[in-house]
Structure 1
Amino acid sequence: MPMIVAFSLSGAPGVTTLALALAAAWPEPVPSVLVEADTSGGDLAAWRRMPTSPGVAELAATARTDETATAAAAPVLGCAQVLAGGQRVCLAPATADRAAGAVDLVSHHPEVLRAPGAVGVVDAGRLAPRSPAAHLAAAADVALLVVADDLAQLKRAQAALPALRTGVEKLGLVVTGARTSDAQVQEALGMPVLQRIPTDPRSAAFLRGESGLARPFRRPLLRSARRLADELASTAPQASAVEVSRG
């Protein structure tokens, strides 16, 4: 099944929130697992008051094993915990000094992130050249560049896209916020907007475990995440995603 990697280039456009929403919205009956693979450290353990073990540190310990055996064993599922509501999550250590080495090792052995019969949604944090996030994006079935709808982030994305298109085979653009239209973003970047994610503090608080929602998928953020999940699932039903955008 496919591996979806979400990343940003700068700022805090909401990659972790989007990745968690996307994993939760993945269409049934295919299960999903969210993997925190941000070298600066994970957020979910603090948000949900959970231990970070088992998690990415344990997953990294499997990365030196035989590739074929590792893929068959689906270690990512064995290193996952389950949130209230049933979502599987593989948590990163909270601090960069503990997360960076584990994420780097996993990024060089991305086969450990794949599990037969399940989709992996990877929060890769901020991408820089030759970083673990860059390795993960290159290995993804679809890599999602998450950009906030502000001038500084759009300019950075515009400058980075030529290199990204060279290193990432299947690239999709997700824009958070609503300051400009999709047509304006496409004109500026030369790339279509795959999905727009609206600002929705109530849904974000729900995903962090801070509050409840009676009908979460009626909320704007989660409704948009479901549309994105449906689009990705329809183009990559058997881990052979068609290209979302290519330069």
Structure 2
Amino acid sequence: MHRVIAKLAGLTLLMLSALPSRAEEARQFRLSVPAEVAESGLMDYLLPRFALKTSRRAELVGGGAADAVISADPQAGTAVMARAGTVYALRLTGENAAARRFADWLSSDVGQRTIAAFEPEQGAPFAAARQQQAGPAPALDGDPALGREVALRHCARCHRTHDDDRSSGIGSTPSFPALRALPDWADRFTAFYVLNPHPAFLRVEGISPPFDPTRPPAIIPVELTLEEAEALMAYAASVAPADLGAEIVHQ
């Protein structure tokens, strides 16, 4: 009897050793992202950091064979980031545990801060978009005079909103004229309401989601109507760009 049991145990171990390791399978997944996201370099920045934290690795593939898909359709999954008014969502297509781990990491505080820390060589920066809902990006039209009033009432807490204003703003925060001098100024102003740190304390009526009741704004919240947001962007477009001087040349 003991010999029979020993033989059965040996066969069981042999069969188990022939099976693929679930742990190894769960450490890899296939990820599909839009071309503009891949070309920005964001995945080259995110994925090594994710692998370092979790020992899970992603392979970038076409959408048809992916375990996780990031798309520019915010209704297709969970919003994870935004860029120039476009909100990107992540969805899982199966039960791959590594893909689930990536989704959880990307939506976490660490993942969201990693997205916000990435600085693309070209184009607008990416912003964390925790719980952002789809909404139309306001156009650069509206009443510049009303926009100036909105800027002085709300934006001047952190930004100097025009060249003649020397008494408001925070020294570490760029002024409107400085922002206007940047090549991607239109993208920044069009998507200002989803770019950090604005979602933490600012809402645009009919576009932004409600504040998370578990994370109330740390400062007096700002709520703008769509008319005020459009006016603010129209005013920003009318601000004269600052002279930031020539680009720094490294010796």
- Give me the TM-score of the superposition, normalised by structure 1: 0.26
Where relative contact order (Cα < 8 A, 6+ residues apart) is larger, the structure is 1
Over alpha carbons, which structure has the higher Rg? 2
- Give me the TM-score of the superposition, normalised by structure 2: 0.26
